[in-house]
């Protein structure tokens, strides 16, 4: 399994960077603190020597490595990504945008000087990225170049592409968004049109996903907007859960708005400008005020690589409630109806990989538990629409493939299976296939 560099909580909301707060409840409590291998308490005795040293290193250069006090009250190693002068400050009064080197980039943030332990400054400054990216618009070919390199941490991403990507997206542009009842902290950079880049907060219409810079604009918009659910066809309804299929070609602006929004929570995904080529499956919780988006996944209308899902997102306020596994299960139900096997587009994020591993493990081991006699990977693939490679890697990861008498066999000791199933977490929300009314996409002439 790839490295997971963000502390991940076992409880409800995502450990970090995410969570949404109800607008009415003001600032919610911070997520619980997590122990981390590299964290340490640092005492900073303010003697003459250390004061002189500190004066000498300021302002810190971009690339400097230093210890920084995080929201858990402990010091963690960071790298300075960017700096900016404080308004009305002296020549050394800067704020620093830092990356916690042990954690995922979604935790990068602006910090004040007093959070940094200047005694721990490492004087070697990383090489600056020379080749600045001047244009965001990557061609599809360039995008593929990045995506085809399967990344589980970032370690396998082609070094130059990764550097380019990180240089261009290094500082989060939008800090929070308002969407329906929630105010949500963002995780990553998203390439909104330049006129939005001077606003820290954006206001989204929760139905048509139009975004605005000011609350009053949103209020005015809400009086006029007559959508109460995503555009497109409702293809699934079970209780209060509905799924809408939105064709990017028929609803271009909606598709683009959704991509801008989603990119705030997806790191290594290049924004698609050609939304025409995609279908968007938008999951909603419905009540008497309308259908409120919980999450979505996108799917290429035609995929040469047998991808059945391009991007998946559960909005942070709804995470860890089983919606992610529901979306994944839904994508495989669509593949079954198409009579194809499918696999998610790579790279998978840390949370994406966890969710997929959990889903694959549960589905495959449930079958192995019930099945009498031998079963092959091909048969498992036919039953589940999971691509053979993903089945093999899941079973190998669980050490359930053994080499006996010259051939590979799946070991299905019930006790071992039960142990793995327990570790795979909860099953997630069930897709009731009888409630799915859908036919595969056909190009209309």
Residues annotated as catalytic are 345
Q: Counting contacts by CB under 5 A, is residue 412 touching Zn ion?
A: no
| Contacted entry of ligand ACO, Zn ion, none for residue 344, CB cut-off 5 to 8 Å set by kind | ligand ACO
Among residue numbers 183 through 212, which ones bind Zn ion (CB under 5 A)? 205, 207-208
| Contacted entry of ligand ACO, Zn ion, none for residue 319, CB cut-off 5 to 8 Å set by kind | ligand ACO
Backbone angles phi, psi at 172, to 5 degrees: -60, 130
DSSP secondary structure code for residue 271 in this structure: P
Q: Are 201 and 217 in contact (CB under 8 A)?
A: no
Of the residues 286, 354, 375, 383, which one makes contact with ligand ACO according to CB under 6 A: 354
Compute how many residues bind ligand ACO; rule: CB under 6 A: 30
Q: Give the Cα separation of 113 and 60 in Å (integer).
A: 10
Distances (CA, A) of 281 to 45, 131, 155, 231, 411: 56, 37, 31, 11, 36
Residues forming beta bridges with residue 436, ordered by sequence position? 236
Residue matched to tokens 């996903």: 209
Angle 159-168/140-148 helices, nearest 10 degrees?
Answer: 120
Least separation in angstroms between residue 86's CB and ligand ACO is: 32
Q: Give the Cα separation of 348 and 422 in Å (integer).
A: 23
Among residue numbers 289 through 318, which ones bind ligand ACO (CB under 6 A)? 309, 311-314
Residue matched to tokens 């800090």: 175
> Between 218 and 410, whose beta carbon lies closer to Zn ion?
218
* Helical spans, DSSP H, in 155-286: 159-168, 215-224, 252-263
Of the candidate spans 109-117, 177-185, 236-244, 340-348, the one that interacts with ligand ACO by CB under 6 A turns out to be 340-348
| Contacted entry of Zn ion, ligand ACO, none for residue 180, CB cut-off 5 to 8 Å set by kind | none
Beta strands in 215-318 (DSSP E): 233-238, 241-247, 278-287, 290-300, 307-309, 312-314
Binding string, 362-401, against Zn ion, x = CB under 5 A? ----------------------------------------
Chain-centroid distance, C-alpha 82: 23
> Between 98 and 315, whose beta carbon lies closer to ligand ACO?
315
Among residue numbers 6 through 25, which ones bind ligand ACO (CB under 6 A)? 8-9, 14-15
Cβ partners under 8 Å of residue 225, min gap 6: 205, 207, 208, 210
Of the candidate spans 205-213, 319-327, 365-373, 374-382, the one that interacts with ligand ACO by CB under 6 A turns out to be 319-327
Binding string, 357-376, against ligand ACO, x = CB under 6 A? -x------------------
Binding string, 235-264, against ligand ACO, x = CB under 6 A? ------------------------------
Cβ partners under 8 Å of residue 176, min gap 6: 183, 184, 185, 186, 200, 201
Q: Give the Cα separation of 255 and 272 in Å (integer).
A: 9
| Contacted entry of ligand ACO, Zn ion, none for residue 388, CB cut-off 5 to 8 Å set by kind | none
> Between 265 and 280, whose beta carbon lies closer to ligand ACO?
265
Q: Give the Cα separation of 202 and 223 in Å (integer).
A: 18
Least separation in angstroms between residue 345's CB and ligand ACO is: 5
Q: Give the Cα separation of 424 and 436 in Å (integer).
A: 26
Where on the chain is the footprint of Zn ion (CB under 5 A)? 205, 207-208, 225
Where on the chain is the footprint of ligand ACO (CB under 6 A)? 8-9, 14-15, 265-266, 309, 311-314, 319-325, 344-345, 348-349, 351-352, 354-355, 358, 425-426, 428
């Amino acid at each position: 399994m790839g490295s997971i560099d963000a502390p991940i909580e076992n409880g409800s909301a995502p450990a970090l960077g995410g969570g949404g707060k109800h607008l009415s409840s003001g600032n919610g409590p911070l997520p619980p603190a997590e122990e981390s291998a590299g964290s340490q308490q640092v005492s900073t005795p303010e003697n003459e020597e250390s004061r002189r040293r500190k004066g000498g290193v300021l302002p810190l250069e971009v690339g400097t490595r230093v210890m920084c006090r995080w929201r858990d009250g402990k010091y963690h190693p960071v790298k300075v990504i960017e700096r900016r002068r404080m308004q009305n400050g002296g020549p050394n009064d800067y704020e620093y945008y830092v990356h916690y080197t042990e954690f995922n980039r979604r935790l990068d943030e602006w910090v004040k000087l007093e959070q940094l332990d200047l005694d721990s400054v490492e004087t070697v400054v990383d090489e600056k990225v020379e080749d600045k990216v001047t244009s965001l618009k990557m061609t599809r070919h360039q995008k593929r170049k990045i995506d085809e390199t399967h990344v589980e941490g970032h370690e396998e991403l082609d070094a130059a592409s990764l550097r380019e990507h990180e240089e261009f997206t290094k500082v989060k542009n939008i800090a929070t968004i308002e969407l329906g009842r929630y105010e949500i902290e963002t995780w990553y950079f998203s390439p909104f049109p330049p006129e939005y880049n001077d606003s820290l907060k954006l206001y989204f219409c929760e139905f048509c996903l139009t975004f605005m810079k000011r609350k009053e604009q949103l209020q005015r918009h809400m009086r006029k907007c007559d959508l109460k659910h995503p555009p497109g066809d409702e293809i699934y309804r079970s209780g209060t859960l509905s799924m809408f299929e939105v064709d990017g070609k028929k609803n271009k602006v909606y598709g683009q708005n959704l991509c801008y929004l989603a990119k705030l929570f997806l790191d290594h995904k290049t924004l698609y400008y050609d939304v025409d080529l995609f279908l968007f499956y938008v999951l909603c919780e419905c009540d008497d005020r309308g259908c409120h988006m919980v999450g979505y996944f996108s799917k290429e209308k035609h995929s040469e690589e047998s991808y059945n899902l391009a991007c998946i997102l559960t909005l942070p306020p709804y995470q860890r409630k089983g919606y992610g596994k529901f979306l994944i299960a839904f994508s495989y139900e669509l593949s079954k109806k198409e009579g194809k096997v499918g696999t998610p587009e790579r790279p998978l994020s840390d949370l994406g990989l966890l969710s997929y591993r959990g889903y694959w493990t549960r589905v495959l081991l449930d079958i192995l538990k019930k099945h009498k006699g031998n079963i092959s990977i091909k048969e498992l693939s036919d039953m589940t629409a999971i691509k053979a490679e993903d089945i093999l890697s899941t079973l190998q990861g669980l050490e359930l493939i053994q080499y006996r008498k010259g051939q590979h066999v799946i070991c299905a000791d019930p006790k071992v299976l039960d142990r793995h199933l327990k570790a795979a977490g909860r099953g997630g929300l069930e897709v009731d296939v009888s409630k799915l009314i859908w036919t595969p996409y056909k190009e209309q002439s």
